[in-house]
Amino acid sequence: PVPFTPERTAHFKTAQEYASRIEIQELSDFFVLYERFIGNYVELEKHWYRFLDLYQAYLQEETILVERFFNDPAITNSSQCICDICMTVGEECGLDNLMRIQGGRWAVYHFDGEIKDIFETLQGIFNVWLPRSGYRMAQRYGLNIYRHIDREKHRVRMDLCIPIS
């Protein structure tokens, strides 16, 4: 079952189907402006929009929007999931809520779909692709890198990034 909508059941693809959309990439460090979110991941969309509106002055054409997620909502109390909502900025930004996210080697799944389907896709990557891939998850947190957001249709194009070794 999907923890955000218990009446919905996740249906996974095959390991080969996930593999066809995954690239192994080296990502550089990200220097970001961030806000920590603690709560149900289903509320992330509205928190993102508030964050983007609040820090609109820092959005540039080259800005990258990143989520750093800490918890698997399938095994964590849904009201206690932790996520950092981030946008890249220059180191001279001057705000207090800045940090560097460590880069490294990542399995990057290219997602293009509805926001409601992100959980199911990530679960499939972790539970179907990763165990058969020959890789192991590294001791870093997962990242979601947004490439395009369609607020009206609740759709995104993004990279779901799992740290690997």
Establish if 88 belongs to a structural domain: yes
Regarding whether 81 and 133 lie in a shared domain, the answer is no
- CA distances 20 to 12, 13, 165, Å, are 14, 11, 20
Regarding whether 114 and 70 lie in a shared domain, the answer is no
Residues 31, 67: Cα–Cα separation, whole Å: 13
Establish if 4 belongs to a structural domain: no
Establish if 144 belongs to a structural domain: yes
Neighbour-count burial of 160, counting CB atoms closer than 10 A to its CB (0-12 exposed, 13-18 middle, 19+ buried): buried
**Domain span at residue 70?**
30-101
pTM for the structure as a whole: 0.89
Q: Left (φ > 0), alpha (ψ -120 to 50) or beta: where does 132 sit?
A: alpha
Establish if 51 belongs to a structural domain: yes
* pLDDT value of position 56: 96
* pLDDT value of position 74: 76
Establish if 3 belongs to a structural domain: no
Residue with tokens 């999931």: 81
Regarding whether 18 and 79 lie in a shared domain, the answer is no
Regarding whether 74 and 18 lie in a shared domain, the answer is no
* pLDDT value of position 3: 64
Establish if 7 belongs to a structural domain: no
User: Mean pLDDT for each 10-residue chunk of the chain (165 residues)?
Assistant: 69 93 96 94 88 96 94 81 95 94 96 90 93 94 94 94 95
